Amino acid sequence: MATRIIEGLVKTREIYYLILDMLCGFNGFNDNVQMLEMKLEELCSLEHDLKKELEIEELEHGKKRKREVENWLRNVHRKKNEVYGMVQDLRYGGVFRHFKLIVQVKKLTGQVTDLVGRGRFPEGIVGSAQESRGYAMLQTELAGAMFQKNVCKIWDWLMDDGVLMIGVYGMGGVGKTSVLIHIHNMLLTAVTNFKSVFWVTISQSFSIHKLQCDVAKIVGIDISKESDERKRAARLSWALMRRKRCVLFLDDVWNYFPLERVGIPVRADGLKLVLTSRSLDVCRRMNCQNSVKVEPLSMEEAWTLFVDNLGQRTTFSPEVEQVARSVAKQCAGLPLAIITMARSMRGVEEICEWRHALEELRNTKVKQKEMEMEVLGVLRFSYDHLNDKMVQQCFLCCALYPEDFEIDKDVLIESFVDEGLVNGMKSLEATFDEGLTILNKLENICLLGKVENYVGGKKCRGLQDASSHIAISMMKMGCQHVEPIDSVEGYYVGSQLVKMHDLVRAMAINVIKVNNHFLVKAGLQLTKIPDEVEWTGDLEKVSLMCNWILEIPTDISPRCPKLRTLILKHNESLTRISDSFFVHMSALEILDLSFTDIEVLPKSVSDLSTLTALLLTSCKRLKHMPSLTKLQSLLRLDLSFTAITEMPQGLEMLVNLKWLNLYAKDLVSSGKEIAKLTRLQFLILHWWSRKIKVKVEYISCLRKLETFAANLYNMHHFNAYVKIMHIYGLRSYLLQLDTEECLGNSPWCCFAEVCLRKDVIISNCKIRTGETPLILPLDIQRLKVERCHGIQSLCDVMSLKNATSFRRCEIADCDGHEYTFSLSCSSSCCTSLHSLESLELYNLKNLHSLCKEDEVVAQIFPPGRAFTCLKYFFIYHCPIIKKLLTPRLLAYLPNMEEITVHNCKSMEEIISVDGTDYESYGGEKSYVTNRDTIIVTHSKLMSLSLKHLPELRSISSGQMLCESLQNIRIFKCPKLARLPETATPVQILYDSF
């Protein structure tokens, strides 16, 4: 009994002190709340400043926020909501509610204080616009003890904080680059302290300016407008010093240069430098702390690499293997030579062929002590082993380009045609097929290498020579741009590139010197034309491309009666060529002056009657042309991106012309001058310029056309041409119809997701109410309709109903456009919508609904196959539309993969449910009717991009069952309070709240 009394007194005492503590806490409650308010205000200020800084870095500098910053902002958002919720409880709760919140206030104060502390980000808040650690490079798999030893040695030096500069040297083709690529890729995947990894290849034609540009491009800054070398170096150094722990690989350094002149700040806890060179002296002069020599492979390692590259199908008898080992031995342990030789012998099993190969290899070896010369002999054997003089000549054409030049395959094939190496009498398609077959053969035996580039963080392809072939690629390949991308120096998506290894090019130059009469001084930074003594009478080809030649003076008039090819393109400073320069070139067939700054073409060009190709693309100051009357042998004329204002005199006399590119925005014509050019296969006119409008009678006689782009004169001429064009079998076209007379907007810039070849652009036309109905080609693949204000919906374009190849549609700036299609129209006549894959809507100020749904029609006509192929949907700057999709409409789009909604200021909901039960294509329910458990289903949707939607409140009010959904991107959607509950985890990227 006494024990129970004592226990009761103890509990009473504990309760007493608990109540006393609560009363004390309540007395200080207001102080705690004020402290929480102060900390929250500090947190909000920090959040505001950080968002402003992010906006500058992301929008102006192209940087990307770090994931830790994104997580911090998300935590701040949640914590603010939690505090605001507690404030509401304080406002409406009684005294007992306040007792319960004492502990929560203290807890929130601590959490807010912690968030303030973690929001300083001393290491910075953004990374590079590209992935910070770079991209894995394609590598040749090398094996052997020496290879592994070198890799381990260089890796250990990289991990040593005391080693800042590392040199890797050895002869050409020995595998220096392969070792570094292996380490480069290891750094991308291994867990290290390095934040960024950069790679730059240096060529023999080295310059500080070029290296600065190359490093700046990979770092993500633009120094192109800064002409002063020191200021460029300062900016570059500042950008690199801001990065913590990064590695820069410089491949193929030929000569010493001061790092400070470039702006490369090698320092502890900052940038490490790894370089390759053929010279130990260069490594020493560059102040490399540690250097390693890459030696040739051992006999057994060389044989292993040789067999690996022969392929699995090659089998040996003991006798053949003995000879094959001797062939591998002749490669002197150099991986480049081994791989090249092995691939040229793939599939060879007869011992007689192996003995013949060995004998030729021994006989063609250059008698020099330097092993590098032996490599040239090995590579020369691969050239000889082509066994096709035409393919050999095509290969030698590649050596006319500078070292390390990335060459577009189409450019090469066109040069093959000009040189008469590829049969130009075929169709364009057959011609390019033949050219690609040749290039593939050269790639397969490693005489050419494939090139891949990353631009702006995205994988794409491009070349320095792209501008001359933009319009061409639009037609042949579906190129995405009709102007060079300024920030990427002429790169464009869609081209395929090849490149000659420097040793392969050296071998090709040796072949040229011995067996051909070529003068090749490409990419050597010449400022003046070679002396006349170098222009020998037996010269056949001259390449001076990619130099800085300023002018060709009157005192130079080379006597080259056999000269057939002269390439001066990419001498951007060349402003004047004297008339006397071409006087003694009576056999000249190919003249390439593209990308020069000439204003006037010399009059002596008019007398080059043997000329078959005259290439002047991107001579942007060229306004006047001499008479072309005598150039009746001309097969190709390219005047794209020039400043000419009228058709060249005598153009109508070029009756043999097959290729004509007149994509010049100031050119004025009705097409009359081309009516007699009946052999034309390729014709490009500036299709968006209203200064050149073609009449049908001038092109209807061009029955051999395969590729055609132009702006037609009016609706009558457009329809008349569409009616007859199928007779000629056009393989690609871009037809523009624009009824206005003044200059239009910029050209149609296409999306990368869909690359097609048969396009129509309709502008400023009365499609719906006009007296003459519009007729579209039956094989149309892509349609853009812009500023056609009478079109209420896509179904008004009735001539689409039989376009079964229709893939992509874009509608822009059509004020009368209220909805894009109706279910009744799609089911009854617009069968073309069955094949539609991409739909883009721009600047439709009266668009209020995507679909005009009719309840009665919807019951009579079930979804069927109406829009089953639609994958991509984009809508931009449509100000009044509030609801984008309904489950009923979603049921018509079973293959939708990507939805993008940007800058629609009234948009409130992406998928709006109305409580009715519909079935999707295939019979599955599109959503359940219970308002408490609304479920929207879709099996293909992968991506949602939502930007600048100030009124957007929800994506969907129901739960979304989209197992394929991978990410939702949100940017400046301030009222978006509720995200859909998805069945599987989805990456949600918040760019801003």
d(C-alpha 144, C-alpha 140), whole Å: 13
**pLDDT at residue 878 greater than cutoff 70:** yes
Is the per-residue pLDDT at 28 higher than 70? no
The confidence score (pLDDT) of residue 385 equals 78
Which pLDDT does position 752 carry in this prediction? 28
Q: Across residues 708-731, what is the average pLDDT?
A: 89
Q: What is the pLDDT of residue 101?
A: 66
- Asked whether residue 230 carries a pLDDT value surpassing 50, the answer given is yes
Provide the 10 A C-beta neighbour count for residue 573.
12
For residue 58, the model assigns a pLDDT of: 47
pLDDT at 18 over 70: no
> Which pTM was predicted?
0.70
- Contact present, 424 and 658 (Cβ < 8 Å): yes
Instruction: Write the secondary structure of 6-48 as one string of H (helix), E (strand) and C (coil).
Output: HHHHHHHHHHHHHHHHHHHHHHCHHHHHHHHHHHHHHHHHHHH
pLDDT at 692: 85
Q: Could you give the CA distance from residue 639 to residue 627 in angstroms, rounded to a whole number?
A: 14
Distance CA 897, CA 966 (A): 10
Tell me the mean pLDDT in the region 524-541: 92
Say what the pLDDT of residue 665 is: 87
The set of residues, in sequence order, having a beta carbon less than 8 Å from that of 887 and lying 6+ positions away, is 911, 913, 914, 918, 926, 927, 936
Integer Cα distance of 909 and 124 in angstroms: 36
Q: What percent of the chain has pLDDT over 90?
A: 29
Summarize the confidence of residues 421-442 as an average pLDDT: 87
Residue 603: is its pLDDT beyond 70?
yes
pLDDT over threshold 90, residue 274:
yes
pLDDT at 583: 93
Predicted local confidence at residue 575, as pLDDT: 94
Residue 831 scores a pLDDT above 70 = no
How many angstroms separate the CA atoms of 535 and 384, rounded?
28
Confidence of residue 55 (pLDDT cuts 50, 70, 90): low
What pLDDT sits at residue 189? 80
Q: What is the mean pLDDT of residues 332-339?
A: 81
Q: pLDDT-based confidence at 176, cuts 50/70/90?
A: confident
DSSP output for 853-883: --HHHHHHS--TTTTTT--EEEEES--S--E
Q: Distance (Å, rounded) from C-alpha 894 to C-alpha 442?
A: 44
Burial class (CB in 10 A: 0-12, 13-18, 19+), 984: exposed
Q: 263 near 237, Cβ under 8 Å?
A: yes
Give the span between the Cα atoms of 539 and 850, in whole angstroms: 66
Predicted pLDDT at 865: 56
- Of these ranges, 170-179, 536-545, 718-727, the one predicted with the greatest mean pLDDT is 536-545
**What integer is the mean pLDDT of 600-606?**
93
Side chain identity, residue 819: Y
Residue 921, pLDDT score: 41
β-partners of residue 615 are 592, 638
Q: pLDDT-based confidence at 650, cuts 50/70/90?
A: very high
Model confidence at 398: pLDDT above 90:
yes
pLDDT score at 165: 94
> Which residues have a Cβ under 8 Å from the Cβ of 574 and sit 6 or more positions away?
549, 550, 551, 552, 568, 593, 596, 597, 598
Q: Which of 60-74, 152-166, 934-948, 969-983 has the lowest mean pLDDT?
A: 60-74
**Residue 825, pLDDT score:** 56
At 130 the pLDDT is 43
Range scoring the smallest mean pLDDT among 325-339, 375-389, 846-860: 846-860
How far, in Å, CA of 108 to CA of 80, rounded?
10
Q: What are phi and psi of 699, to 5 degrees?
A: -115, -15
With cut-offs at 50, 70 and 90, classify the pLDDT of residue 576.
very high
pLDDT beyond 50 at 359: yes
User: Residue 866: which of 902, 840, 841, 829 has the closest Cα?
Assistant: 829
Residue 57 DSSP one-character state: I
Residue pair 279/253 in contact (Cβ under 8 Å)? The answer is no
User: What percent of the chain stands above pLDDT 70?
Assistant: 78
To the nearest whole number, what is the mean pLDDT of the chain? 79
pLDDT(185) > 60: yes
Using pLDDT thresholds of 50, 70 and 90, give the confidence band for residue 97: low
Residue 495: predicted pLDDT: 61
236 vs 622: CA distance, rounded Å: 36
DSSP state of 298: P
User: Which of the two residues, 479 and 839, has the higher pLDDT score?
Assistant: 839
3-state SS, 761-828, equals EEECCCCCCCCCCCCCCCCCCEEEEECCCCCCCHHHCHHHCCCCCCCEEEEECCCCCCEEEEHHHHHH
Q: What is the pLDDT of residue 317?
A: 84
Contact 594, 615 (CB under 8 A): yes
What's the whole-number mean pLDDT along residues 843-872?
67
- Lay out the sheet containing 909-911: strands in order across: 883-885, 909-911, 954-956
Using the predicted structure, report yes or no on whether residue 613 has a pLDDT greater than 90. yes
Q: Which of 180-184, 682-686, 917-921 has the lowest mean pLDDT?
A: 917-921
Position 951 scores a pLDDT of 92
Please report the pLDDT score of residue 45 as a whole number.
Answer: 86
- Give the model's confidence band at 857: pLDDT under 50 very low, under 70 low, under 90 confident, else very high: very low
pLDDT at 574: 95
Nearest alpha carbon to residue 790 among 810, 813, 766, 770: 766
Could you give phi then psi for residue 379, rounded to 5 degrees? -65, -35
* Residue 480 scores a pLDDT above 50: no
pLDDT band at 832 (very low <50, low <70, confident <90, very high): low
Average pLDDT over residues 643-672: 92
pLDDT range class, residue 94, cuts 50, 70, 90: low
Q: Find tokens 């792209």 and name the residue.
A: 466
Give 122 or 458, the one with higher predicted confidence.
Answer: 122
Mean pLDDT of 852-868: 52
pLDDT of res. 313:
64
How many CB atoms are closer than 10 A to CB 637?
A: 24
Residue 854, both tokens: 């009719």
Over the range 838-861, which residues count as b (16 or more CB within 10 Å of their CB) and which as e?
bbbbbbbebbebbbbeeeeebeee
Average pLDDT in the 596-615 region?
Answer: 94
Report the C-alpha gap between 873 and 944 in whole angstroms: 10
At 755, is the pLDDT very low, low, confident or very high (cuts 50, 70, 90)? very low
Whether 125 shows a pLDDT value over 80: the answer reads: no
How far apart CA 636 and CA 680 sit, in angstroms, is 9
Q: Is the distance from CB of 39 to CB of 109 less than 8 angstroms?
A: yes
Q: Is the pLDDT of residue 280 over 80?
A: yes
Kindly state the average pLDDT of the residues 394-422. 91
pLDDT over 60 (residue 162): yes
Asked whether residue 226 carries a pLDDT value surpassing 60, the answer given is yes
